[in-house]
Amino acid sequence: MEKQEGKMPGIGLALGAGGVRGFAHIGVLEVLAAHGIEPAYLAGSSMGSLVAALYASGLTPGMMEKLAVNLKRKHWLDLCVPGMGFVIGEKLREVVKLLTRGRQIEEMERPLAIVATDLRTGERVIFTEGPAYEAVRASASIPGIFVPYQLNGRLLVDGAVVDRVPIEVVRDMGADLTIGVDVALAPSDAPVKSLFDVIFQSVDIMEREIFRHRTVHADIMVRPDVGRFSSTAFTNIEEIVEEGRKAAQQMVPHIQDKITEWRKGI
């Protein structure tokens, strides 16, 4: 039996990890919104958790792009003497707290889940309540770069260690149609110039291989072509966002086809 004409499925959008390349998510969100494709459920890992939290709190893609362009590395990262990492993460936490107005995840304008990894047990930790800025700080803790975040008795690191693009999470939230955005599917073409680059590229390779062997797949995958950009340098932001727009625009007809199939009950 056909579903009501014009009715939209509950779309779940899973935003993946990728460091600075994750700003491509902003372009994806902009194009989807322009075509009336609004996610009913949002989940993110690492940089994807940051963009998902800001969007769920009410920031528009345009606002996020302006922030991404104008906020430099010094605004996001606070370096420290190496212990369990080179970055304390307090600046990131405070920026996210300011931009989300300190809101709890359960108070957001749309359902949100943020993924982190318990460093001691290897378990996936999914935040669906509590301060969004705490969850993003945990999810973005790239191993070896950020100091792991202690929260609720757990020692937490980057959600991408176990769930790079949290497709299963949005499906479990109740999504009828899932869209995943992977900003690190292909090997990076960017030069490796620093210790940060070495660590990030090593972690990226491991996470990519894990994701490649996962059995949970999205109905639609959006893959911005951002491999030529550094994951650690806060440069080329506008170009990265534009690649997100291009990739999303290419997939809009496929998303619309999936929506039509859903309406027909296929």
At residue 74, the pLDDT reads: 62
At residue 201, the pLDDT reads: 63
CATH of the domain at 63: 3.40.1090.10
Compute how many other C-beta atoms are within 10 angstroms of the C-beta atom of residue 120.
11
pLDDT tens-digit profile of 14-58?
A: 999 988 899 999 999 999 999 999 999 999 999 999 999 999 999
- Average pLDDT over the chain, rounded to whole? 87
Record the tokens describing residue 80, joined without a space.
Answer: 């420290």
Determine which of 151-160, 170-179, 248-257 has the lowest per-residue pLDDT on average.
151-160
At residue 34, the pLDDT reads: 98
pLDDT tens-digit profile of 58-111?
A: 999 999 999 999 877 666 665 554 555 557 767 888 999 999 999 999 999 999
At residue 235, the pLDDT reads: 83
230 carries an active-site annotation: no
Short-list 158, 157, 163, 258, CA closest to 215 = 163
- Measured CA to CA, the distance from residue 228 to residue 248 in angstroms comes to 18
In angstroms, the first-to-last Cα distance of the chain is 9
The answer to the question of residue 200 being in a domain is yes
Of 71 and 218, the structure prediction assigns the larger pLDDT to 218
At residue 60, the pLDDT reads: 97
The answer to the question of residue 216 being in a domain is yes
The answer to the question of residue 198 being in a domain is yes
At residue 12, the pLDDT reads: 98
Short-list 189, 257, 185, 187, CA closest to 221 = 185
Inter-CA distances, 97 with 24, 153, 184, 193, 248, Å: 22, 21, 27, 32, 29
The answer to the question of residue 8 being in a domain is no
At residue 136, the pLDDT reads: 96
The answer to the question of residue 120 being in a domain is yes
DSSP one-letter code for 40: S
Q: Could you tell me the pTM of the whole model?
A: 0.88
Number of domains within the chain = 1
Instruction: Tell me which of 46, 139, 230, 231 is the catalytic residue.
Output: 46
Confidence bin at 9 (pLDDT 50/70/90): very high
Inter-CA distances, 34 with 16, 41, 135, 221, 226, Å: 21, 18, 29, 18, 22
Confidence bin at 189 (pLDDT 50/70/90): low
- Measured CA to CA, the distance from residue 228 to residue 110 in angstroms comes to 33
The answer to the question of residue 258 being in a domain is no
Boundaries of domain holding 96? 15-249
The answer to the question of residue 93 being in a domain is yes
Region 172-177: mean pLDDT is: 98
The answer to the question of residue 152 being in a domain is yes
Region 188-215: mean pLDDT is: 61
158 carries an active-site annotation: yes
Instruction: Tell me which of 49, 139, 141, 158 is the catalytic residue.
Output: 158
Amino acid at 127: F
CB 9 within 8 A of CB 43: no
Region 195-210: mean pLDDT is: 62
